[in-house]
Structure 1
Amino acid sequence: MNFDLPPETETMCAAVTAFARRDLGGPKSYDPELFDHDDFRRRWRLAGRQGLVGATAPSAHGGCGLDALTATALMEALGAGCADTGFAFSIAAHLFASVMPIVEFGTGEQQQQWLSGLSSGELIAAHAITEPNAGSDILNLTTRAECSGDHWVLNGVKAFTTNAPVADLFVIQAATEPGGGYFGLTAFLVPAGTPGLLVGAPHDKVGLRGSPTADVHLTDCRIPLDWVLGGVGAGASVFAGSMKWERTCLFGVYLGAMRRVIDSTIEFVGERTQFGTPIGEFQSVGHRIVDMVATLQSARLQLMLAAWELSRGADGTVSSGLAKVAVSEAAVKIGLDAVQLRGALGVTAGDAETLLRDALPARIFSGTNEIQKNNIARALRVGRRARPRR
C-alpha cells in the first residue's frame, strides 16, 4: 500500500492551493437578490485556465484527462485554498455531475459541441434531477418528456439545482415512460435560453452560499430529438454514472476545507490565552484537536480508497457510499469542534462557523446519508437469505 501521491500530482495540488488562496478569495456576502454574476464568471474563467472545471474531461476536448484519484486530490487542494467552499462545490458539481455524463454517455457530436467550452471555463453546466416531491425517489419523477413529431416536449419543475442561475447548459432528467422503472427515465441536454425553460430566483441557503442554486421550470419546452444524452431510457444510468463520480471526487473539497479549519484552529488555541496560558495546553483542548485530526484522517482514507477503486473501474457502490457518509459526518463534527474551541468567537463570522454551515448540506446532497446506508446494505445483501448449498 503506497499512500504517496506521485510528485507531479503533489506539485499540481500545491499550485492549485496557492492559486485558490490568491485568486478565488473567501466567502462572498451572498444575498441571492444581489448575486454578482460577473464576479462569479470572472472566478470561473480563472479556474478554467487552471484546468479545474475540466479536470477529468479528455485532453482531446480541452480537459486534463485526470483519473478519479488524481481528481480527488485536486479537489482537496482546491478546498484547502478556496475559503469559499460554495464556489469550489459549484466547480465540482459542474465537473462530476454534468461534464462526466457527457464524457461517458454523449455522442461524438455532443462531445464536440459542448466539452471544449465546459472544460475551458467558457461555459457552466447544471444537472437537474431533484423535484419538489422526488429527491431520493428518482424513479418517480413527475417531469415528463413526450415525443411530438421531430421534437421532444418537456414539462415539469426541478428543485434545488446547483448552478442553475449561472448555467449555460442543463442536463435534465425526465420520465419518457412513466412507471417504466429504471428504463423509464431519459436525460436531455438543454441549453439555457431554450424557449420554455425558466430558471427561478436563487435560493437563500444555510450553507454553500457561494454556490448559486435555483428551481428550473419547464413549460412546453421543445427540443430536437438528438438532444437526448445516452439514448432513450438511459436516464437512470446517466444519473448513476454522475453519482459515481460525485460521491467520490466532489467530497475531496470537504477534505481540504476541514484541513484548512483544523490548521487555523491549532493556530488559534496556541494564541488564545486563559488563566495565563495558551488554551492549547489544556488537556481537554489538546484531546479535542487530536480527535479532529483523527476524524479527518479516517474520512480521507475512506475517500481515497473509493477514488482508487473508481480509477480502476470497480463498481464502488460500497466504498463510495461509505466515503460519502464518512466525509460529510466528519465535516459536521469538525465544524462543531472548531466552533466550540473558539467559544463566542466561533459563532461570529469566521472559518469555523462557515465550515459548519457548509457541512450541513453534505449529509443531504448526492443522496442523503440514510439513502447511502440503504444502498450499501443492499449491495452487501444484508437481510437476504443465502441460497442453500446443494
Structure 2
Amino acid sequence: MEIITGGVTAAKGFKAAATAAEIKYKGRTDMAMVYSEVPCVAAGTFTTNVVKAAPVKWDQDVVYNHPAAQAVICNSGIANACTGAEGYGYCKATADAAAEILGIPADSVLVASTGVIGMQIPIDRIVNGVKAMAPKLDGSLEAGTEAAKAIMTTDTVKKEVAVQIEIGGKTVTVGGMCKGSGMIHPNMCTMLGFVTTDAAISKEMLQKALSANIKDTFNMVSVDGDTSTNDTVLLLANGMAGNLEITEEGADFDKFMEALNYINTCLSKKIAGDGEGATALFEVKILGAKTKEDAVTLSKSVVTSSLTKAAIYGHDANWGRILCAMGYSGVQFDPEKVDLYFESRAGKLKIIENGVSTGYDEAEATKILSEDEVTAIADMKMGDATATAWGCDLTYDYVKINADYRS
C-alpha cells in the first residue's frame, strides 16, 4: 500500500467542485459536489440517532433501494434536520437540480448537510450552488481539496487522505474526505465522510467492507458524547481501475479492506484531533481485555470521560481518573492487575503497575502529555482482545464555541 497525496478526486473518474452559495457563511465556500464519470455502486452507514436529518433518510433510500449513485451534493452551515416534509422535499429538489444539469437520474444523487439543526435550507441558493458547481467539476487534486474545505463548519483544517494498492495486477486508488469537529459520538460513523474508489467491487461486498470497518474506525471516535442527527459515511466505487470485480471474500477483498481501513482510520483521527477547541488528539489503547466488546467499552469509557479529557488538557498525569472511568464502564476486571502507560513523541512512561502507582517522575509525565498527540495504554491482563478509541482534550474553547454556535 502506498500513501499518496489527494482525497476524493484521487481515484480514476472522480471529479469535484466547490462554491460559495452563502447558505449561512459569508466570504467562504460552503457547498461541494463529488461526481463520477460513470455510475458507481454505493455503500453507506448512517446515524443511529432516532432523530435523523432529511439527507440521511434520502441517502438511505438511494443506497439501499437503488442500484447506482453518481453524484454527491453537500452543504455546510445548515443541517436540514428536524425540518419535516419540507426539508425532505428540499433533498429531492437538490437531487433534481443536479440530475438535470449533470444528465443523470435523480435517484443516483446523494445529498448531505451539516450545520445548525432546525433551520430550513434556502433551496434557491442550494439549486444555484449546484448549477454553479457543475461546470467547474474537475479531477485535479486541488479540486478535491477545495471540496474538503467547503464542507467544514467549526473544523479548523480540511481532512482528506488517499492510498493506492494493487489488485489483480491493476492499480486501485481509494481516497476520502470528511468533516467533523463537534457533536461527535457516533454509533456508526461521525458527521460526514465521503470515500471514493476506482475498484471494481460488487455492491454487496462494498457494503460489507464499509459496515465491518466502521466498527473499528469512525465508531471509535468521540469528541463530546453527542451523536449527530446527520452522521453519514458514503463509499462510492466506479470500477474504472479495471481489476476483476471483487464478488467474494479472499485476497483481493482483504487488500481492499486494508486500504479502506487506512483511509477511515486516518479520517477518524483527523476528526478527533480537530475536536472543537482541542489542543491534543487523545488516543486510548486497551490491551489484554477478555473480549473485543470489553476492550471497546473500556476504551470508549476513558476517551469520553470529561475529567480525563480535562486532565489531558492540563498535561496532568491524573491516572486515577482513567482507572475510575474503566471501573464504571460496566466491564468486569481486576483493577489490581492493570498496568497503565502514557506515550507520545516525547517518550513512554509506565504510570501504574498492578493498579498501583510506579512512583513515576511527574515532570517526565508532564513532558509526555504536553505533545499534540497523546496515548494512554492500559493492559488489563485478562485476555488477548484489544481496541483503540480516539478523542481529544476538553478545553475552555469548547464551551465558547458551543455557547454561541447559532449566532
With the shorter chain as reference, the TM-score category is under 0.3
TM-score by length of 2: 0.27
Please identify which structure carries the higher helix content: 1
More strand by share: 2
